[in-house]
């Protein structure tokens, strides 16, 4: 019997998170069992947690597991989408002040394939710290899908206008290359 491939989807608090069901449906169609980990901002402002749990069949986790909570199976791969400026910079700096960041740090150290699909505006993307963070994550073996062939930043305060064009498939396609 073939084991289902397990995908952790780390969801940050940005506009595309409202449409995470699109990503989950693509993942299911590609044969992934999706488990969602969300940042506190994603939970508070962007996600319909009951609908997401119904879609995945699993608890959405944003904090550490309490006794009796479902334990996620080990991840075969991770998609971080949408990935925010904040999460990318903290992750690259080794800051683990949320459950999502702690999991990303741990999964990076374990060598689990990770694809990151940022959602940032041009002003944030122009910051040197962001450029350094992208470089740091790439040097750690993370596939950061940013710039040519990946996500292209949008002008400030226009994010809502491009939600229909957020390239969910890029993260899954990048991870498919790392799977047997």
Angle 140-141-147 (CA atoms, 0-180°, nearest 5)?
Answer: 100
Please compute, for residue 70, the number of CA atoms within 13 A of its CA located in the half-sphere on the CB side: 13
Q: What is the model's pTM?
A: 0.96
**Tens-digit pLDDT profile for residues 148-170:** 888 999 999 999 999 999 999 99
Three-class DSSP category at 174: helix
Structure tokens given for 59: 């608890």
**Tens-digit pLDDT profile for residues 42-76:** 999 999 999 999 999 999 999 998 888 778 999 99
Instruction: Please give the domain boundaries of the chain with CATH numbers for all domains.
Output: 5-176 (3.40.50.1950)
What does DSSP assign to residue 94?
T
> Is 80 exceeded by the pLDDT of residue 78?
yes
In this prediction, residue 149 carries a pLDDT of: 86
């Amino acid at each position: 019997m073939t084991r289902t491939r397990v995908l952790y989807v780390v969801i940050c608090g940005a506009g595309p998170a409202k449409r995470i069901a699109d990503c989950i449906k693509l993942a299911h169609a590609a044969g992934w069992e999706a488990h969602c980990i969300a940042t506190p901002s994603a939970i508070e402002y962007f996600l319909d947690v009951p609908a997401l749990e119904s879609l995945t069949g699993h608890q959405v986790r944003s904090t550490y597991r309490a006794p009796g909570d479902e334990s996620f199976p080990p991840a075969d791969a991770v998609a971080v989408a949408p990935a925010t400026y904040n999460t990318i910079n903290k992750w690259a700096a080794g800051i683990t002040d949320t459950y999502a960041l702690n999991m990303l740090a741990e999964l990076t150290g374990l060598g689990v394939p990770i694809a990151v699909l940022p959602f940032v505006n041009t002003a944030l993307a122009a910051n040197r710290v962001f450029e350094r963070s992208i470089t740091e994550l790439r040097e750690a073996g993370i596939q950061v899908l940013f710039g040519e062939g990946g996500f292209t930043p949008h002008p400030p305060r226009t994010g809502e206008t491009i939600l229909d064009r957020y390239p969910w498939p890029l993260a899954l396609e990048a991870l498919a290359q790392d799977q047997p």
